[in-house]
Amino acid sequence: MVVEMTVVTERKTRVMLGMSGGVDSSAAAALLLEQGYEVIGVTLKLWPQDCVSRAEDKCCGPQAVMDARAVAHSLSIPYYLVDEAAEFQQHVIQYFADEYKAGRTPNPCVMCNEKLKFGRLLTRADQLGAQYVATGHFARTALCAQTGRTLLKRGLDGRKDQSYFLFSLRQEQLARAMFPLGEKTKSDTREVARHCGLKTADKEESMEICFVPDNDYGGFLKKAGLVQPHRGEIVDVHGRKLGEHEGIEFYTVGQRKGLGISSAKPLYVVELDAANNRVVVGDEAQLERDTFIVERCNWIPFAQPPAAIEASVKIRYNHAGTPALITPHPDGDGTAQVRLHESQRAIAPGQACVFYQDDLVVGGGWIRR
């Protein structure tokens, strides 16, 4: 008698990996394969046509796509280029311009993560049957056994930690997020890429916003036709006119250089008054603040925050963090008061303020005027 045996092969968990063409996402692909996942590489084509020539080697440029495709081929994983330029224009670039017009300092990387990398990319993952979306961010997630909520934590490499840019991700996004580099250092990451013979192993990384590769925000806004120069007054904190400007969009809180006015002592931008088209300047002491409001808060370890939270807060990405008392509004309107234990300089409306307790990201919000 011949007995037929049916062999059941367990299907691997499918992960969609966002590939930017850099060493981080390349190493993430290799690590996921090593861990036994089925990996699909995807690059989101984000660049507007008027931006291509200025971003050849950034994550929104053609060279980056070529590098990502080459890495996928080297690792023998499927690769797709998906056009999300219209979404990027709406949710990132237009937001970027609108915030500057309103006298606020935008953070486009946070919006790109929320709306595209863990927004549109999750939709694409569903279409391709992928359970998770992975990126090359230096951050970690963990499941809280008591609440069942997905926690967000700093990456192990404190110098490269990118959890700040992920604070606005909701539970449904975090639950499907994977960060293979969370337990790695930057040098570990390059070593992984070298070991696998990936062409991006020694690729230089960029610290600028991908669609503003020369770091000239005002120039980008003008060249893209998003902002037109419009004359207004530069005034001191008492309202006295000191000079004129060509648009509040070309200034940021804390700026000292390029004001075009003379003074016996150094002057800094302390406020951008969009309603009156004014740039307000003052001395360095007038940049100091110890209390402000954040809005559109996202709380990660809990659905409803406690009445008061002691945490370390970062008022911008490259800020070291400072102790503060955070008091969420009792009406649950998404706002909270942040009272710093020590005043900080140049707290800019529009920037993200992220709350930490050791490595745990408690949440964060957007600094209000």
| Domain range enclosing 296 | 288-367
Assigned domain for 125 exists: yes
Examine the fold and report which residue of 282, 316, 350 is the final residue of a domain before the chain moves on: 282
**Tokens representing 359?**
């490595």
In this structure, the answer to whether residues 262 and 149 fall within a common structural domain is: no
Domain co-membership, 27 together with 163: yes
* Catalytic residue status for 210: yes
Judgement on whether residues 70 and 118 belong to the same structural domain of the protein = yes
* pLDDT digit string, tens, across residues 218-233: 999 999 999 999 999 9
**Per-10-residue mean pLDDT, the chain, length 369:** 49 95 97 98 81 51 90 98 94 96 96 96 96 98 97 96 98 98 97 96 84 87 92 96 96 94 93 97 96 98 97 97 97 95 97 98 96
138 and 277, same domain (yes or no) = no
Counted domains in the chain: 3
- Quick check: is 109 in a domain? yes
Query: Would residue 3 count as lying in a domain?
Result: no
Say which CATH number the domain at 333 has. Answer: 2.40.30.10
Q: With residue 361 as reference, give the H or E element that holds it.
A: strand 360-367
Which pLDDT score is estimated for 206? 75
In a domain, 164, yes or no: yes
Q: Residue 201 domain-assigned?
A: no
Residue 51: predicted pLDDT:
54
Instruction: Say yes or no: 278 and 293 in one domain.
Output: no
| Residue 76 Rama label (left phi>0; alpha psi -120 to 50; beta) | left
The CATH number that applies at residue 252 is 2.30.30.280
H or E element in which residue 367 lies: strand 360-367
Rounded to the nearest angstrom, the gap between the alpha carbon of residue 123 and the centroid of all alpha carbons in its chain is 20
Quote the pLDDT of residue 357.
98
Among 246, 266, 282, where does a domain finish?
282
Q: Coil, helix or strand for 76? A: coil
In this structure, the answer to whether residues 276 and 306 fall within a common structural domain is no
Q: Where are the alpha helices (DSSP H) in 51-181?
A: 62-75, 85-88, 94-101, 108-112, 121-127, 171-174
Of residues 177, 201, 204, the one with CA closest to residue 26: 201
Q: What pairing do the DSSP bridges indicate for beta strands 309-314 and 322-328?
A: antiparallel
Does 65 share its domain with 132? Answer: yes
Beta bridge partners of 313: 322, 355
Q: Considering 112, 196, 297, 353, which one is annotated as catalytic?
A: 112
Neighbouring C-alpha atoms within 13 Å toward the C-beta of 144: 17
Token readout for 289 is 């603040």
Q: Look at residues 263, 282, 301 and tell me which one is the last residue of a structural domain.
A: 282
Q: Kindly state whether residues 132 and 189 are assigned to the same domain.
A: yes
For residues 178 and 267, membership in a common domain is answered with no
Q: Tell me, yes or no, if 59 is annotated catalytic.
A: no
Among 75, 82, 79, 81, smallest CA distance to 29 is for: 75
* 215 in a structural domain: no
**Is 146 in the same domain as 257?**
no
CATH number assigned to the domain comprising residue 183: 3.40.50.620
CA 330 – CA 306 distance, rounded (Å):
9
Residue 216 lies in a domain: no
Q: What share of the chain is helix, strand, coil (3-state, %, to 5)?
A: 25, 30, 45
- The structure tokens listed for 87 are 């979404």
The two three-digit tokens of residue 211, written as one number:
């669609």
Catalytic-role residue among 51, 109, 196, 210:
210
The answer to whether residue 166 sits within a structural domain is: yes
Compute the distance between CA of residue 74 and CA of residue 199 in angstroms, rounded to an integer. 9
Whether residues 270 and 332 fall in one domain: no
Output the six-digit token pair for 281. 């300047």
pLDDT of residue 48: 61
**Whether 271 and 307 share a structural domain:** no
